[in-house]
Amino acid sequence: MSGKERENWYKHARCLLLGVLATVAIATEAIAHKVEISGDVGGTIHLEPNDNPQAGKATLAWIALTRKGGQTIPLQQCNCQLAVYAEPRQKNAAPLLQPSLKAVTAEKYQGIPGVEIIFPKPGAYQVELKGTPKAGANFKPFQLNFDVTVAARAR
């Protein structure tokens, strides 16, 4: 193999490797977000940083709500309530937290439900979002339940 052929082979191999790494990064990001569906509403939750919340540390959580067909449901169109439960969740258990939602902009979404949550300790939780349409909005009432694992706070 000549020097020029070897150089071209290395360039080709580097391009293939970069393509594989980019594909893995995109796939990892898609897997990280958790998606739930209720009736004609879908929700994708994301927790900062990188869907790995830590106990005792403020976590920005946002939920991209969309109705069937892909149209975004902003918080201004939804009577939404968020509750956080410890797992395993007992029937009729009271929520540990019921933080107030605010409209946030995240990734390509504008005005979606968001909240800052401080999970009290490491472990399993369920984040529940219930919603009904405000006047003029067109979607069915929904309840989305997202399982969240919280890590110990890094020291």
**Tens digits of per-residue pLDDT, 94-103?**
999 999 999 9
Same domain for 84 and 135, yes or no, is yes
**Tens digits of per-residue pLDDT, 101-134?**
999 999 899 999 999 999 999 999 999 999 999 9
Same domain for 49 and 87, yes or no, is yes
Range of the domain at 8: 1-32
d(CA 130, CA 139): 13
Q: Number of folded domains in the chain? A: 2
Same domain for 74 and 129, yes or no, is yes
The answer to the question of residue 146 being in a domain is yes
Same domain for 4 and 38, yes or no, is no
The answer to the question of residue 155 being in a domain is no
d(CA 60, CA 79): 20
Same domain for 4 and 45, yes or no, is no
Same domain for 54 and 114, yes or no, is yes
Tokens 């309840």 map to which residue? 143
Write down the pTM of the prediction. 0.77
Same domain for 62 and 124, yes or no, is yes
The answer to whether 101 and 113 have CB atoms below 8 angstroms apart is yes
Per-residue pLDDT 10s for the chain (155 aa) are 666 654 543 343 333 333 333 333 333 343 456 899 999 999 999 998 889 999 999 999 999 999 988 999 999 999 999 999 999 988 899 999 999 999 999 989 999 999 999 999 999 999 999 999 999 999 999 999 999 999 998 76
Same domain for 45 and 103, yes or no, is yes
Cis peptide before 120 (omega within 30 of 0): no
Same domain for 24 and 79, yes or no, is no
The answer to the question of residue 59 being in a domain is yes
What's the confidence (pLDDT) of residue 5? Answer: 57
